C-alpha cells in the first residue's frame, strides 16, 4: 500500500512513517517545516518528502492519505482530498488498526516527561530481552530511531492528550487501548484546544475507561489532578509511585536523583545509579520500573537497564563547548518543564557556575500568553534569562519584569545570539529551551563564541 502522510515531520507522524515503512508500505509525506532530528531520520529511511501543501500532490495517487493534526480545514491539500472524495484516516487511528491491534500496549501519558519515560520503558524491555516495538516523540539514544515495530508482543507508545485530527477532536491516546498505562502528571496545557484543566481531566478519564480490568494504571501519587481523574471511576489495578512519605505497596525513591534506592513501601527492591539528573527523571524512572514489572521485568532488572540509559536527544543534550562555555539543547517549553530543567542543571553544575537560560515561548499555549505569569517562577534559578520575542502577540519584556536585570528580550534569534555572546564567560552553561528548531540557535551560538577568539 502507498500511504501519503500529511504533517510527516512531526515527532508522532514521523515515527508512524518509520513504522509504515518497516511494515513494507510505500511511504511519502509532506510538511511545511522540516528540521532535525526527524528530517534526518526520514531521509535515512529513504522516505520522499514534499515541501508544503500543494494540491498537485494528488498526482502521487496514494492508496490512503494519513492526516496529522497539524493540518486543518482550509489547507489546500486537505480541500483537494475532500473534493475528490479520496480515502483518508487520522494518524492515531491508522496506528491502532495496523500496528497496535492484538499487542500489549504500554502507554505513557502526562503533561511532562512522556518522551523520556517512554524511552526509559522501551530500553528496560529491550535490556530484558523482550524486543519491544515503540513510538516515542524523540530519538532515544539507546536506539537511534524514534519508532520500530519490534519482534515480540510489547509495544511502548507516548500517549499524547492533544487532539487527533481536524475531523476527530478526541485526544490521540483514546485510540491506543493500552493494557498498561502510566499517568505521570497533569497540568493545564494546550490552551488552543482546552478551555481549562477540567477539560483535560475529562480526556484523561476517557483513557482510563479504555483500560481493561486486568490492566494496570501506574499513577503519580503527588498529582491531585490525577487523583480527581481516578475518582470519576477506575476499573483496573492501581500502582502508585512517588509519594513523599512511605505508603504500602507504592514505589518511591530514597536518595539523590543520580543515585537512589527504589522502595516498595519500606522494602528496598532495587538501586538506580545513572547519568540523568533532576527529580523529574527520578520519578519517571519509578514509573517505568512499575510499568515494566507489569510485563514480568523485575525492579532490579530495570535498575540495571537504567544504568545504561542514554536519554533522548534534545533532553539536556550537550551540543558543544567553546572556551569553557557549554551549549545545551532541551525540549522544555511549558513553565513547569522550564523550571524543572533549570533546577536539574543547577543541581549538577558547580555552585560558582552560571546558567544562562535562553528560550522561546513557541508552543500554542505559550504563544497565546496563557502562562506568562509563570515565566519568572520558571526561570528564577537561572542567573540570566534571554527570551525570543519573535512570533509573540504579548510582551515578553513585561512578563519578565519581576526578574529585573536578570532578563533580556530579543527581537529574533540573531539578536539573542549577539546578546548572549556579549556576556558569556568561561564556566557558563547556555541552556537553550524550545519545542522547535529555535532557528538553529545552538550552532549559531557555538560559531559566534568561537569567533570571539
User: Is residue 64 located within the same domain as residue 132?
Assistant: no
Please choose, from the candidates 74, 57, 73, the residue with its C-alpha nearest in 3D space to the C-alpha of residue 65: 57
Please state, in angstroms and as integers, the Cα–Cα distance from residue 78 to each residue in 32, 47, 69, 264, 340, following that order.
14, 21, 12, 51, 39
pLDDT of residue 118: 95
Domain finish residue from 306, 329, 346: 306
Omega cis (within 30) before 37: yes
Q: In this structure, what C-alpha cell is assigned to residue 92?
A: 492515531
C-alpha neighbours within 13 Å on the C-beta side of residue 28: 16
pTM, two decimal places: 0.79
Per-residue cell: 400:
519578565
Considering 72, 92, 112, which residue would you say is the last residue of a domain? 92
| 129 domain residue, yes or no | yes
For residue 213, being part of any structural domain is answered with yes
The reply to whether 268 and 179 lie within a common domain is yes
Cα–Cα distance measured from residue 445 to residue 420, given in angstroms and rounded to the nearest whole number: 8
In a domain, 364, yes or no: yes
Query: Are 194 and 231 contained in the same domain?
Result: yes
Which CATH number do you get for residue 415? 3.90.190.20
- Same domain for 444 and 328, yes or no, is yes
Q: Are residues 179 and 297 in the same domain?
A: yes
How far apart are the C-alpha atoms of 260 and 273, rounded to whole Å?
7
Both 132 and 170 in one domain: the answer is yes
For residue 210, CA distances in Å to 20, 101, 112, 165, 401 come to 25, 14, 22, 20, 46
Report yes or no on 408 lying in a domain: yes
In this structure, the answer to whether residues 111 and 178 fall within a common structural domain is yes
The CATH code of the domain that includes 126 is: 3.40.1190.10
Per-residue pLDDT of the chain (453 residues; tens, 9 = 90+): 999 999 998 889 999 999 999 999 999 999 987 666 667 778 888 898 998 999 999 999 999 999 999 999 999 999 999 999 999 999 999 999 999 999 999 999 998 888 999 999 999 999 999 999 999 987 888 897 889 999 999 999 999 998 999 999 999 999 999 999 999 989 877 767 788 889 999 999 999 999 999 999 999 999 999 999 999 999 999 999 999 999 999 999 999 999 999 999 999 999 999 988 888 899 999 999 999 999 999 999 999 999 999 877 777 788 999 889 999 998 877 788 888 889 888 888 878 899 999 988 877 767 777 778 888 888 989 999 998 888 888 888 888 889 898 989 888 899 999 999 999 999 999 999 888 778 889 889 999 898 876
| CB contact set of 143 (below 8 Å; sequence gap of 6+) | 122, 123, 126, 134
**Domain-located, residue 97:** no
Q: What is the pLDDT of residue 201?
A: 95
Report helix, strand or coil for 84.
helix
Structural domain of 241:
102-306
CATH of the domain at 14: 3.40.50.720
When divided into structural domains, the chain yields a total of: 3
67, β-bridge pairs: 6, 90
* Residues linked to residue 191 through DSSP beta bridges, in sequence order: none
* Domain endpoint, select from 70, 92, 114: 92
- Which pLDDT does position 37 carry in this prediction? 63
Q: Does any domain span residue 311?
A: no
Domain check: are 401 and 253 in the same one? Answer: no
CB 212 within 8 A of CB 179: yes
Note whether 74 and 123 are same-domain residues: no
In a domain, 312, yes or no: no
Amino acid at each position: 500500500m502507498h500511504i501519503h502522510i500529511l504533517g510527516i515531520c512531526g515527532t508522532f507522524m514521523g515515527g508512524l512513517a518509520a513504522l509504515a515503512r518497516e511494515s513494507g508500505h510505500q511511504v511519502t509525506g509532506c510538511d511545511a517545516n522540516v528540521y532535525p532530528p526527524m528530517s534526518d531520520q526520514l531521509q535515512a529511511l529513504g522516505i520522499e518528502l514534499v515541501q508544503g501543501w500543494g494540491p498537485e500532490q494528488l498526482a502521487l495517487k496514494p492508496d490512503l492519505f494519513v492526516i496529522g493534526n497539524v493540518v486543518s480545514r482550509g489547507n489546500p491539500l486537505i480541500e483537494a482530498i475532500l473534493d475528490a472524495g479520496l480515502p483518508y484516516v487520522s494518524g492515531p487511528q491508522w496506528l491502532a488498526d495496523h500496528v497496535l491491534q492484538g499487542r500489549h500496549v504500554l502507554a505513557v501519558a502526562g503533561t511532562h516527561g512522556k518522551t523520556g519515560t517512554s524511552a526509559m520503558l522501551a530500553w528496560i524491555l529491550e535490556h530484558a530481552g523482550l524486543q519491544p516495538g515503540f513510538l516515542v516523540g524523540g530519538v532515544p539514544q539507546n536506539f537511534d530511531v524514534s519508532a520500530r515495530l519490534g519482534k515480540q508482543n510489547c509495544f511502548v507508545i507516548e500517549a499524547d492528550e492533544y487532539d487527533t485530527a481536524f475531523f476527530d477532536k478526541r485526544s490521540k491516546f483514546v485510540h491506543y487501548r493500552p493494557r498498561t498505562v502510566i499517568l505521570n502528571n497533569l497540568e493545564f496545557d494546550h490552551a488552543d484546544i482546552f478551555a481549562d484543566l477540567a477539560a483535560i481531566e475529562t480526556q484523561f478519564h476517557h483513557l482510563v475507561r479504555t483500560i481493561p480490568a486486568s490492566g494496570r494504571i501506574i499513577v503519580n501519587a503527588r498529582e491531585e489532578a490525577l487523583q480527581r481523574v481516578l475518582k470519576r471511576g477506575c476499573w483496573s489495578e492501581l500502582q502508585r509511585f512517588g509519594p513523599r512519605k512511605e505508603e504500602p505497596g507504592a514505589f518511591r525513591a530514597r536518595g539523590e536523583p543520580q543515585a537512589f534506592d527504589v522502595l516498595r513501601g519500606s522494602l528496598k527492591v532495587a538501586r538506580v545509579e545513572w547519568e540523568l539528573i533532576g527529580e523529574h527523571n527520578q520519578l519517571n524512572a519509578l514509573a517505568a520500573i512499575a510499568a515494566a514489572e507489569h510485563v514480568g521485568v523485575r525492579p532490579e532488572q530495570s535498575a540495571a537497564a537504567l544504568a545504561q540509559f542514554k536519554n533522548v536527544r534534545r533532553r539536556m543534550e550537550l551540543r558543544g563547548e567553546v572556551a569553557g562555555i557549554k551549549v545545551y539543547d532541551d525540549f522544555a517549553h511549558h513553565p513547569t518543564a522550564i523550571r524543572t530543567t533549570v533546577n536539574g542543571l543547577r543541581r549538577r553544575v558547580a555552585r560558582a557556575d552560571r546558567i544562562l537560560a535562553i528560550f522561546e515561548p513557541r508552543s500554542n499555549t505559550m504563544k497565546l500568553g496563557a502562562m506568562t505569569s509563570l515565566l519568572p517562577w520558571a526561570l528564577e534559578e537561572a542567573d540570566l534569562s534571554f527570551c525570543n520575542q519573535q512570533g509573540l502577540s504579548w510582551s515578553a519584556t513585561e512578563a519578565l519584569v519581576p526578574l529585573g536585570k536578570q532578563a533580556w528580550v530579543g527581537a529574533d534569534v540573531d539578536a539573542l545570539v549577539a546578546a548572549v555572546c556579549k556576556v558569556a564567560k568561561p564556566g557558563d552553561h547556555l541552556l537553550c529551551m524550545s519545542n522547535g528548531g529555535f532557528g538553529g540557535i545552538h550552532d549559531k551560538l557555538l560559531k559566534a563564541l568561537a569567533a570571539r577568539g
